[in-house]
Amino acid sequence: MTSHAHIPNVRTLVIVWLALLCLTALTTTVSYLELGWLNIVVALAIAVLKASMVVWIFMAVRYTTSLTKLFVVAGLVWLGIMILLTASDYTSRDWTYQPQPWSHNAAAGASR
């Protein structure tokens, strides 16, 4: 049984690299815009697109075995679970943390 790795041509790699550079510039540009709650949505969409390009092209997951693809999907599902748990914890809190400065303590600085 012979197996050989697929090697993408240089043209494809350069195009993906340039696309990643453009998407990085787009991420930086969008960070200066005031989009309200859409800032995080746009930033995450661009990040998912960039990560997908890296995994699909540079890591050559599209040419790997089904088991490797299964582990990639399992990792993404696990990441989704962790994001969902974090978001549910964050959104379920009805208080805003207000730190209390130590300088307002009556005994602050007093020696006993």
Whether residue 108 has pLDDT greater than 70: no
Q: pLDDT tens, 60-103?
A: 888 888 999 999 999 999 999 999 999 898 888 877 777 767 65
Q: How confident is the model at residue 24 (pLDDT cuts 50, 70, 90)?
A: very high
Are 69 and 61 in contact by the 8 Å Cβ rule? The answer is yes
Those residues with Cβ within 8 angstroms of residue 35's Cβ, 6 or more apart along the chain or in another chain:
42
CA distance 93 to 13: 45
Q: pLDDT tens, 37-64?
A: 899 899 999 999 999 999 988 888 888 8
Those residues with Cβ within 8 angstroms of residue 43's Cβ, 6 or more apart along the chain or in another chain:
27, 30, 31
Distances (CA, A) of 4 to 1, 17, 53, 89, 109: 10, 24, 22, 46, 72
